[in-house]
Structure 1
Amino acid sequence: MALPALTLRPPGPGDEAEFRAAHEVMAREGIVFGLGLDGLDWPGYLRRLAEVEAGARLDGFVPATFLVAEAGGVIVGRTSIRHELNATLAVLGGHIGYCVLPARRGRGHAKEILRQSLPVARARGVTRALLTCDETNTASQKVIEHCGGVLESSDGHNRRYWIG
């Protein structure tokens, strides 16, 4: 049976409960699902995402587009598409950071999230996208390579790939 189509979209007013639940699940793995969520009410968080995308009030962030990945009406993951790099992101983080909820892994969602993130990055001026992953994260390595990532380097802890 085919999986429901995956779509990327901005989080909206009706997503709070599901989004916060995803944030808590990912926190148990040491992964931040809702970047900048802690300490903000939901309307404030949505405003903050719009500001960061517009390049306003960055407070150490770079302009970025944050989207949830939805399949079958359920949030299954997210992507953060950075429009540019700073010194930190040039080493670790790169242009695109994505994650899939543990219960939704192994279904091709990560590949589809990255595949759909690349044209969004291009539309924001990213002609070559840097992606990084942990040396031990073989699943992410396979996703990046499947989507055209070419390994630039590995320092024994992190791998750096370029797509484009």
Structure 2
Amino acid sequence: MLILRPLELADADAALAAQRELDADDFDFLLGYSSKRGFGEFLEQLNAHEQGIGLPEGWVRSALLGAFVDGTLVGRTSIRYELTSDLLHVGGHIGYAVRPEFRRRGYAGQILHRSLDVLAARGTEYALVTCAEENLASAKTITRCGGVLDDIVQVGQERTRRYWVSTASGQRL
């Protein structure tokens, strides 16, 4: 069974490996991580960001949670508790990733479902979830979780699909 939980110091090797793996996709698995500070400081930063402390400009309170199956880090989610105008346009409430070796096993959908549960527990009724227009796998995952396409927006050279998803578990597929 997949669980979401905060990363711990013991997860450093797996999390850093995931960061390297997803570099090939130009995806930042560990948002805000810098090897200059080390993993322990990074975890402290994540805790502070969840409390709204020391947020970089344009950032909002958020949680970066690891997705684990039988103790193995298979992916992660970034859950933003509020939306700025920029996040409302393209970033959304939730950003998730699955490590390449664990793809096509249904983990993306499980990560998204559990992320929606986190937002529901915080009182958010609908979550904005976005993906690149050409990322058909992510678009299918979002749709399977009850996402309704709102529109497709152009940002620079990229086109982004914007979906609204109910956080009420009874309204999700």
Partner of 2:110: 112
Indicate if the aligned counterparts of 1:95 and 1:131 stay in contact, CA closer than 8 A. Answer: yes
Partner of 2:78: 80
Tell me whether 1:150 sits opposite 2:152 in the alignment.
no
Partner of 2:30: 34
Task: Give the TM-score normalised by the residue count of structure 2.
Answer: 0.89
Q: Write the letter of the residue equivalent to 2:165.
A: I
Offset of residue 42 of structure 1:
1.3
Offset of residue 29 of structure 1:
0.9
Indicate if the aligned counterparts of 1:151 and 1:159 stay in contact, CA closer than 8 A. Answer: yes
Q: Any idea what the Cα deviations from partners look like across 1:95-120, whole Å, max 9, x if unmatched?
A: 00000011110000000000111010
Cα distance in structure 2, aligned partners of 1:108 and 1:123:
23
Cα distance in structure 1, aligned partners of 2:37 and 2:91:
23
Cα distance in structure 2, aligned partners of 1:64 and 1:88:
15
What is the aligned-residue identity percentage?
Answer: 43
Q: Write the letter of the residue equivalent to 2:42.
A: Y
Tell me whether 1:163 sits opposite 2:159 in the alignment.
no
SS in 1 for 2:150: strand
| Counterpart pick for 2:98 among 97, 100, 107 | 100
Aligned length: 160
Cα distance in structure 1, aligned partners of 2:41 and 2:10:
14
Cα distance in structure 1, aligned partners of 2:153 and 2:52:
32
Partner of 1:50: 47
Between 101-110 and 66-75, the greater mean CA deviation after superposition: 66-75
| Counterpart pick for 2:19 among 12, 15, 23 | 23
Cα distance in structure 2, aligned partners of 1:127 and 1:63:
17
Indicate if the aligned counterparts of 1:128 and 1:163 stay in contact, CA closer than 8 A. Answer: yes
Offset of residue 155 of structure 1:
3.0
**4+ residue segments displaced more than 4 Å:** none
**Unpaired runs of at least 5, structure 2:** 167-173
Alignment of 1:61-72 (within 5 A): 61-72=59-70
Task: Give the TM-score normalised by the residue count of structure 1.
Answer: 0.94
Cα distance in structure 1, aligned partners of 2:124 and 2:19:
27
CA RMSD of aligned residues (A): 1.1
Q: Write the letter of the residue equivalent to 2:152.
A: S
